[in-house]
Amino acid sequence: MHRLCHSLLSFGWVLAGSEELCGSRWWRRAHDGLRLQEPWSAPCPWEAGGSVWGNVRVPAESVERSWGGDEDIIITIELERSGHRFYDLDPLAETTFAQLFATNGARCAAPRRAALGAAACSRFGAGADLSGVSDMIGNKFCEHPEAKDARALFCRYPPRFYAHAGICRQYAQFCPFEELKSETNPSHIDLAVVNVDAEMFYALEECGAFKSEFWIFKVFVHWCPHCQQLMPLLYRLALRLRQAKVAFLRFGAVNCATEHALCSEQGWLGHPLLVAKYLGPDQAVHGAIEHWIDVVKDAQLRQMLPRYALPGEFPVLKLLLEHLPTNLVPTVAWADLFEAPPGPSGACPNVTALHPEHPTSMEDFVGNGWHDVERNFTVRRRMTDALIMLRHIFQEWIAPVGDDGNVEAFSYRQLIDIEAWVALLIRNLPEAFAIQSFLRELHRALMIRVRAAQTKEGSSLCANEWKSLTSNLLASINDVGQKHFAFPSACASDTCRMWSLLHILASEGLRKERMGLESRPAQPHAMLSALRGFIDHFFKCHYCRRHFLRQYEEGSYGRQLAEESYEELVLYLWRFHTAVSTRVSALHSCVDSDRRWPPSSLCPSCWQPSDQSALWEVLSEAKAKTKEGQPTLRALEMSAMPNEAEILKFLESSFSEQMELQT
Ligand SMILES: Cc1cc2nc3c(=O)[nH]c(=O)nc-3n(C[C@H](O)[C@H](O)[C@H](O)COP(=O)(O)OP(=O)(O)OC[C@H]3O[C@@H](n4cnc5c(N)ncnc54)[C@H](O)[C@@H]3O)c2cc1C
């Protein structure tokens, strides 16, 4: 996060007439190499009395203080006098810290493959009967602590939702399909997609399975909505191919929630992914795979993912299948599965266009794509979701991603981003969460690592150390959850919970700022920067992450204003969220479902009719994604402009307990 410095200084570091970046740079003391960082808000160095001066931060914990504050102190230091420099700019400081951190991180135990015996090959190798093994591995996936409630339906193959009448009633895509209903061979049902854990994956690799079979692995976690959406589509395709006696193409599923070490080691970051494994002699198959990679992966994806890992989108599979030799995978077995357009009745992902109270569902002027139960979502229920999300973040999401080559240790950049994220939670979580003291304890431990990382000796943070650093916090989250948040969740997915958390953090920032409370919130720009860093490194939804970062860098939805004020920040996240919801609707051609929020049934004053030709900027991505020849999205047709002052009030009452409207 940098600001432009407009002061014109004649010194070497800040060139006359140029606009130099100031803020967050490192200065290195000439006589002992001590490094000090500028605060983000620092003015550029200035001249006074024949010297050059600059502001730097002194870490909070190295300052004796009587008033108990926990902020770094900003002091002014003399950088240069009469041509003699006491400090020099150190543009490589961060790189040096990162390198040293990575070097020290190498001592964290590397994951070891269990030695494979001959027995493993007869159990897992090509042609082995995998029925019992797949079932056992599937059960292991589902023993994961987060595989509860609705998520338990998505933790393994065959998917469990086919036995669940309720979910089928609500979402058509999760109902049993014809081929499944008529299938009588249990091995087809059980092994259409094989559950694969680390041991089995290595065995498949080392016992030669990939030489005679082409495996596609779906890499997933059971709480990710896109993984859930892909599950019935992939399963139907896989079962169809088995029924058509296709033995060459196999499907496996790796649940990274339990197979974290394998996923990290393979660089399978983000979910869902499709990973191709074929080491056999058939050049036509290799050609199809290479073509697949070429057409699907843009430069950014190539950088982010290992060569044979692709985004887990169902239509992406078609691009592979149509290039595989038809004698191996006949077109008739799969082609029609890619034809059916998603219909409006429950096939739109995440669209809750269900209005039991208003069956016509056309009553709302704006926002008919939200369920009537929205009106029962109290702030406490949303907080329950945010708390569940926090547990999930600390337990599952924050893990080394191997960005410096070691999946058992965090990188320096990750450490900095975790520290900023925890600092944000300390400042912006409402007191009702009652976990602040544990967050502070964690923050202190992190700051010790950060400071140590910025010394000559450096530091590191191993994955298993993180587990012990967070154990008290996780216990306290469970405790608080049971005591104070025994409310039904308002969300069906973790991305929904993530939104709840973000809106709550911003709304609490606004409340504190308004009330002028002594415990101040993070500065809006600091909240955004912490959020960006967190999403960049730890948000486990690939699409979401990619889209978020792109829009963030482009400054869409009013980011610049959001850096300056909490009112704007609260509205910024609301705009962002609306843009995502409507864009996803457009992508899936859910034309009848308007995902602008809040629906006017909940907040009539939030929207006012507008001229048909006026396009609300936030909907421009949805407009761009509307497929040619498709009917226009309802949100685009029913023109309305938001009344942001009213929306702000509504957001505050939805996400801040102390602003909640009493009804
Ligand atoms: C940062 C981020 C980026 C994402 N990017 C993508 C993406 O690129 N592609 C994709 O497919 N999915 C993306 N998602 C996921 C997507 O936004 C939804 O979370 C998911 O589709 C589940 O939708 P849902 O129906 O449960 O409701 P959600 O959209 O998750 O909403 C949860 C709840 O928040 C409230 N709400 C709804 N809209 C707003 C709003 N505008 N402001 C405040 N509150 C609101 C409602 O009460 C709603 O029930 C992203 C999620 C996050 C957190």
Q: For the segment 214-245, what is each residue's pLDDT rounded down to a tens digit?
A: 999 999 999 888 899 899 999 999 999 999 99
Higher pLDDT, 538 or 356: 538
Contact status, residue 137 vs residue 197, Cβ threshold 8 Å: yes
pLDDT, mean of residues 271-276: 93
Whether the pLDDT of residue 15 is over 70: the answer is no
Class of residue 432 by CB neighbours under 10 A (exposed 0-12, middle 13-18, buried 19+): middle
Measured in angstroms, how far is the CA atom of residue 501 from the centroid of ligand 1?
11
Instruction: State pLDDT tens for residues 444-496.
Output: 999 999 999 998 899 999 989 999 999 999 999 999 999 998 888 888 778 89
User: How is residue 255 written in tokens?
Assistant: 């649940």
Contact status, residue 217 vs residue 254, Cβ threshold 8 Å: yes
Q: Which of 379, 496, 502 to mutate to test the pocket of ligand 1 (most atoms within 8 A of CB)?
A: 496
pLDDT, mean of residues 91-101: 93
Residue 384: CB within 6 Å of ligand 1? no
pLDDT, mean of residues 62-91: 77
Residue whose Cα lies nearest atom 21 of ligand 1: it is 350
Whether the pLDDT of residue 14 is over 80: the answer is no
User: How is residue 226 written in tokens?
Assistant: 């896109």
Lowest average pLDDT, out of 4-13, 129-138, 400-409, 628-637, goes to 4-13
Q: Which of 501, 577, 646 to mutate to test the pocket of ligand 1 (most atoms within 8 A of CB)?
A: 577
Portion of the chain with pLDDT greater than 70, in percent? 87
Contact status, residue 476 vs residue 547, Cβ threshold 8 Å: no
Q: What is the pTM of this model?
A: 0.77
Q: Which atom of ligand 1 is nearest to the CA of 350?
A: 25
Residue 350: CB within 6 Å of ligand 1? yes
pLDDT, mean of residues 95-114: 82
DSSP for 291-343, please give it.
Answer: HHHHHH--HHHHHHS-TTEEE--HHHHHHHHTTS-TTTS-GGGTGGGGTPPPP
Q: Distance between CA atoms of 390 and 384, rounded to whole angstroms?
A: 10
Amino acid residing at 500: S
Class of residue 397 by CB neighbours under 10 A (exposed 0-12, middle 13-18, buried 19+): middle
Residue 622: CB within 6 Å of ligand 1? no
Q: Which atom of ligand 1 is nearest to the CA of 584?
A: 11
Residue whose Cα lies nearest atom 13 of ligand 1: it is 544
Q: b/e map of 459-471 (b: 16 or more CB within 10 Å)?
A: bbbbbeebeebbe
Residue whose Cα lies nearest atom 26 of ligand 1: it is 496
pLDDT, mean of residues 581-605: 88
- Please give the pLDDT value at position 431: 94
Measured in angstroms, how far is the CA atom of residue 615 from the centroid of ligand 1?
21
Residue 507: CB within 6 Å of ligand 1? no
Residue 580: CB within 6 Å of ligand 1? yes
- Please give the pLDDT value at position 3: 42
pLDDT, mean of residues 162-182: 86
Residue whose Cα lies nearest atom 45 of ligand 1: it is 597
- Please give the pLDDT value at position 2: 40
Instruction: State pLDDT tens for residues 382-432.
Output: 999 999 999 989 988 898 866 676 778 999 999 999 999 999 999 999 999
Instruction: State pLDDT tens for residues 290-304.
Output: 889 888 887 677 777
Higher pLDDT, 52 or 6: 52
Write the CB contacts of 67 (distance below 8 Å, at least 6 apart in sequence).
none
pLDDT, mean of residues 75-81: 93
pLDDT, mean of residues 183-212: 91
pLDDT, mean of residues 97-120: 77
Portion of the chain with pLDDT greater than 90, in percent? 53
- Please give the pLDDT value at position 537: 84
Higher pLDDT, 254 or 170: 254
Q: Is the dihedral of CA 169, 172, 175, 179 positive or negative?
A: positive
Q: Average model confidence (pLDDT) for the chain?
A: 86
Q: Confidence class of residue 34 from pLDDT cuts 50, 70 and 90?
A: confident
Residue whose Cα lies nearest atom 40 of ligand 1: it is 574
3-state secondary structure of 289: helix
